[in-house]
Amino acid sequence: MPVQTTEDVLKLVESYNNPPNRLRSVQEITACYNRALETYKKLCFMSGDVRDQKIATHAEIKALGWVLGKPEKDIIKDITANSNRPNFPLQLTR
C-alpha cells in the first residue's frame, strides 16, 4: 500500500465532504424512469436496427424501477404498456 502524505489525506477528507456525484431525489429518479419509458416507446416504433438501443433502455428502466422499489411485475407492465408488442393477459396456472 502506498504511503499517504498529509495532503493526500486532506484531499480524501475533502472529497468525502463534497462528493462529485450527489444523491438523486425520488422525484428526479421518477422523472428519469418516465423519460426512459418514453424513449423506449419511441424506439419500439422506429424502423431499422435499434435492438441494441432497446436493450440498453430496457435495462435502464429496470434499474431505475428497482431503485424506486417497484415490484418486478409492475416494471414489466410499464415496459409492455410502452411497447408495440401485444399485451396478453396473464394465464393463471392451477
3 state SS of 32: helix
Element (H, E) at 57: helix 51-68
> Are the CB atoms for 61 and 81 separated by under 8 Å?
no
- Give residue 44's identity as a one-letter amino acid code: C
> Are the CB atoms for 36 and 60 separated by under 8 Å?
yes
Which three cell numbers, joined as nine digits, stand for 35?
Answer: 423519460
Tell me: pLDDT of 87 over 60. no
| Spatial CA neighbour of 26 closest among 64, 74, 73, 81 | 64
Over residues 1-7, mean pLDDT: 67
Tell me: pLDDT of 16 over 60. yes
Q: What is the pLDDT of residues 22-76, one digit of tens each?
A: 678 899 999 999 999 999 999 988 888 888 999 999 999 999 999 999 999 999 9
